[in-house]
Amino acid sequence: MHRIRWVCVLAFATIVAGVMALPQTAGNPSAPGGGADIRTQLLQEFGRLKIKAKGKPKTLPFDAVDKRLQAVATRYAELAANRPAATPAEVPIELTFAELFAPNREDCFVALSNTVIRLMPESALADLAIYAPDAQPVGTFSNTYTYSRTAVSSYTLHFFQYRTPDGRLSKTGPDLLLDRFRARWTDVRDRVCLSLPATE
């Protein structure tokens, strides 16, 4: 009987020792190779930005939107660069406006800045109704294009064309977009605002 008890105790001790020796990564997003994937980690770190629409018509401040999108993209690059080589490659990550922003009201606009146009996939802009600063509709999104300039400092800006109600194509560049063109929050809420490439 005593021998059987000792065998059971030794077996239990062996199991416990084996568990304690396992890498403690499960459930710990900060541990290399363990816990949340990059998409989940981004959403956990940033959450939904509470943002107040301002002006008339009520529009989300374009600089705050740009800053948040840039911050998420930068953080993604850091996480992707530090991903352990042994972990499986991440698939492309797509985040919607609703996942990153929480406006104080639904009846507001989002400025289609150069940053927004650069980071949104063109497919997410398809058939989007475009509005002027006075909230009057001016047309429907057609396609994106870039404008590059080489001088003391070279740069490339992203713009878009829209089709007017009479069928003409109208370009939005080369002046900075800022908040010169807008879209309704309810129209873009569930569209992808940030498309991040797959990690290798």
pLDDT tens per residue, range 133-172? 999 999 999 999 999 988 778 889 999 999 999 999 999 9
pLDDT band at 86 (very low <50, low <70, confident <90, very high): low
Q: Which residue has the higher pLDDT, 199 or 72?
A: 72
Q: How many CB atoms lie within 10 A of CB 88?
A: 9
The predicted pLDDT at position 115 comes to 98
Roughly how many angstroms between the first and final C-alpha of the chain, as a whole number?
Answer: 58
Q: 34, exposed or middle or buried, with CB in 10 Å at 0-12, 13-18, 19+?
A: middle
Q: How far apart are CA 49 and CA 152, in angstroms?
A: 36
Q: What residue ranges do the domains of the chain occupy?
A: 36-196
Q: Which whole number is the average pLDDT over 41-61?
A: 97
Q: Which whole number is the average pLDDT over 7-34?
A: 37
Share of the chain above pLDDT 70, in %: 80
Which residue matches tokens 């809420």?
A: 189
Q: How many CB atoms lie within 10 A of CB 19?
A: 8
Q: How far apart are CA 49 and CA 31, in angstroms?
A: 26
The predicted pLDDT at position 67 comes to 98
Give yes or no for residue 6 having a pLDDT over 50: no
Q: How many CB atoms lie within 10 A of CB 162?
A: 22
